[in-house]
Amino acid sequence: MDHFLYQNGVLHAEEVAIPEIAASVGTPFYVYSTATLTRHYQLFDDALDGMDHLVCYAMKANSNQAVLRLMASLGAGVDVVSGGEYRRARAAGFSGDRIVFSGVGKTVEEMELALTGGIRQFNIESEPEMVALSEVASRLGVSVPITVRVKPDVDAKTHEKIATGKSENKFGIPIAKARDVYRQAATLPGLEVIGIDVHIGSQLTELEPFETAYLKVAELTEELRSDGHDIRRLDLGGGLGIPYERSNEAPPLPTDYGEVVRRTVGHLGCEIEIEPGRLIAGNAGLLVASTIYVKEGEGRDFLILDAAMNDLIRPAMYSAFHDIFPVIEPDAGAEYAPIDIVGPVCETGDTFTRQRPMPPVEAGDLIAFRSAGAYGAVMSSEYNSRPLIPEVLVHGDQFDVIRARPTYEDMINRDSIPAWLEGLD
Ligand SMILES: *Cc1c(COP(=O)(O)O)cnc(C)c1O
């Protein structure tokens, strides 16, 4: 459930009419709902009720400072994958002991940043990284809690670009090698082995891959304990999917996911961490665009919007589906006809969908994309010199711009011309 509904024929975000935001900030823009973000966090927190746990929001899904501040205020932890994300987390108010550091390519600089600023744990993804972290921690005279990310070789049954738990993926170490790697970890100075990490992919629409992976983690926990390691924290990753297509069967709910966690690892007495990103932010956001032209082609028509692949790349990158619909509710008897919905960028890839049944739309009409709150604004670029679009946060009957649209001068002045080129005009 989200908080984007028609009220008197006009799409609202909570109590705010979308056309009101459009008139104020211009299109295209992203809009997020505080109530939906809060509810989604709460669903996960409740799902693990009774177990010692921390929900660590995977901020790569949506790392706006306001969204992060909201998560921090709710009591969430946060999963970061870069020094930039670490800095964003601290700036939004997360204390170091609520920040988990993941990612395959952590640099020495990033390690120093987190070790001096405070960190809950590092999730180690390779042996060379483990050695590097040991060296940095020793040099700084600290001991850092670590888990090792294992690849359970489970098929997450999701898009190949977001599957991470198979042996051919770049993440983590093969689970079969885990005991050796933990043995090595225990000998390295500056590292305190506290647990196991696993994250098998994103947009999972079934519970079975989680169940298989977590059972393997439970087995490994027992093995590592018998090897003498004090395994007391399990980071189970994120990845629970969201319903992008409303007509399709809905993916499992956080409560069902919580049951899987309880059933597979609940008996081990470990503190549980989970790292949801998409499920918290995805359906808490819309992308809103205006129609520039309706173009009649040979055999097919095109709805040309002012939003493009640089603003929302998911359809071009993962063939992702987004529900796309008019901000003004169509008449009950409106006739739907198939149309291609595209942006103005000069690439055929700049196509949001083909032959989508849509009610009649005219130039100037506002169009909304559902499920755009995660992996939307964070993946945007200024390709075709289209300035980044604003982000707006709604809270009840008020809305605030939480990232302003840069001016064209801002965009152009980010570049600089070398002195030797200056006089060449
Ligand atoms: C991307 C990622 C997540 C979040 O995945 P979602 O599908 O957005 O829930 C969690 N943990 C790690 C390590 C990730 O890379």
Total domain count, the chain: 2
With a cut of 90, say whether residue 423 has pLDDT above it.
no
- Is 85 a domain residue? yes
Q: Which of 122, 157, 162, 199 to mutate to test the pocket of ligand 1 (most atoms within 8 A of CB)?
A: 199
Which has more pLDDT, 247 or 288? 288
275 CA closest ligand 1 atom index: 10
- Is 47 a domain residue? no
- Is 10 a domain residue? yes
Alpha-carbon distance values, 283 to 3, 30, 35, 144, 159 (Å) = 9, 12, 11, 36, 19
pTM to 2 decimal places = 0.96
Residue pointed to by tokens 């746990």: 53
* AA identity, residue 80: V
CB-based contact 89:99 (threshold 8 Å): yes
CB of 276 sitting under 6 A from ligand 1? yes
- pLDDT tens, 171-190? 999 999 999 999 999 999 99
CB of 326 sitting under 6 A from ligand 1? no
How many CA atoms does the CB half-sphere of 414 hold within 13 Å?
A: 8
Q: Burial code of 134-146, b = ≥16 C-beta within 10 A, e = fewer?
A: bebbeeeeeebbb
Helix (H, G, I), strand (E, B) or coil at 367: strand
Ligand 1 midpoint to CA 61 (Å) = 8
Q: Which domain holds residue 319?
A: 4-31+282-412
- Is 78 a domain residue? yes
Helix axes 83-91, 65-74, angle to 10 degrees: 60
**380 shares its domain with 346:** yes
- pLDDT tens, 99-157? 999 999 999 999 999 999 999 999 999 999 999 999 999 999 999 999 999 999 998 88
Q: Which protein residue's CA is at the shortest distance from atom 10 of ligand 1?
A: 238
**128 shares its domain with 67:** yes
With a cut of 80, say whether residue 425 has pLDDT above it.
no
- Give the model's pLDDT for residue 157: 82
Measured in whole angstroms, the distance separating CA 342 from the mean position of its chain's CA atoms is 24
CB of 40 sitting under 6 A from ligand 1? no
- Is 294 a domain residue? yes
- Is 186 a domain residue? yes
Query: Residue 128 sits in a domain of what CATH number?
Result: 3.20.20.10
